[in-house]
Amino acid sequence: MRLLLIEDDKLLGNGILSGLRQSGYAVDWVQDGETAIAVARSEQYDAIILDIGLPRMSGLEVLDRLRTDGSVIPVLVLTARDAISERIEGLDRGADDYMIKPFDLDELSARIRALLRRSSGRSLPVIIHLNIELDPASHMVTRDQIPVDLSPREFAILQTLLENTGRVMSRTRLEESLYSWKDEIESNAVDVHIHHLRKKLGAELIRTIRGVGYIVDKA
């Protein structure tokens, strides 16, 4: 899961970045609206965390531009003001959720999970596929009710595949969900993670589409 964080305050941005990485997200962080729009246009993200009080271009303007572009990406807005009118304006202009500073990091993670869940059309918090259960909140995966130990990146690939069953996920798409742009990408990293997943969850779960990527078939 790859997130875009737009926050002008360095100290806070740094904190959110670390916190979300701890939760297993790949996070890119930009500090102003214009860069944010450029990045959002060129890169693939699963959700955006947007501070409203940005210098130069306000967060709401960024939101407007994103929605004008036709993007349906889930956006969680961060605000330092608790005036109801401001929250309503944010939601009306296309935000999916909001949080008031100072917020709880665990709650932020939970809300992001909920946003991702809704955007993938699920309403159950746990993804169930045949004999496999994946809980995005606790990062727990079970096979036949027996917990399976996965690394954060293996977990992220599995979640992406399970949320998009029946669709081929390209290797690039999977890579993007793993790494923010500062990370060094190893060329065969995705293949290695898929290999480990097959060992832990059974070879038949993930199918290779040669030269394109991987797919988990609909149950």
Partner 1 sequence: MNLSLRKRLLVLLLMAIVIGWLFAAMHSYYDTRDEVEDLFDAQLAQSARALLTLSSHELSEQLAYLAQQEQPEKHREQITALDHKYEQQIAFQIWQGKERLLVRSDNAPRSPMTHFVNEFDTRVIDGKKWRVFALLDEQNDIHVQVGEEHRRRDQISNDIALHIFTVIIVILPFLAALIWISVGNALAPLVKIARDVTKREFDNLQPISIQGVPEEVRPLVTALNGLFERLETAFTNIRRFTGDAAHELRTPIAALKTHAQVAYRGTDPVEIRKSIAAAITGADRASHVVEQMLTLARLDPESQVIKFEEVDMCQVAESQIADIANLAWEKGIDLGLHCQARHLVKGKAALLAVLVRNLTENALSCVPKNGKVEISIAEKADCIILEVADNGPGIPEAERAKVFDRFYRGKNQAHSGTGLGLSIVKRIVELHHATIHLDSSSLGGLLVRVSLQTTSGLSAYQGSEEVQIAEARD
Rounded to a whole number of angstroms, the minimum distance from the CB of residue 22 to partner 1 is 5
Using CB under 8 A as the binding rule, whether residue 130 contacts partner 1 is answered as: no
Using CB under 8 A as the binding rule, whether residue 198 contacts partner 1 is answered as: no
Per residue in 185-203, is it b (16+ CB within 10 Å) or e — as a string? eeeebbeebbeebeeebee
Positions in 94-123 near partner 1 (CB under 8 A): 100-106
Rounded to a whole number of angstroms, the minimum distance from the CB of residue 24 to partner 1 is 12
Site string for partner 1, 8-47 (x = CB under 8 A): xxxxx-xxx-xx--x-------------------------
Q: 102: cis peptide before it, omega within 30°?
A: yes
What are the CA-CA distances from residue 62 to residues 34, 42, 75, 76, 183 (Å)? 8, 15, 11, 12, 26
Helix (H, G, I), strand (E, B) or coil at 103: coil
Judged by CB under 8 A, the residue of 41, 81, 118, 167 near partner 1 is 81
The alpha-carbon radius of gyration of the chain (Å, integer) is 18
Selected range binding partner 1 among 6-14, 89-97, 158-166, 180-188, rule: CB under 8 A: 6-14
Using CB under 8 A as the binding rule, whether residue 183 contacts partner 1 is answered as: no
What's the rounded Cα separation, in Å, for the pair 163 and 107?
22
Contacting positions for partner 1 (CB under 8 A): 8-12, 14-16, 18-19, 22, 53, 55-56, 80-83, 100-106
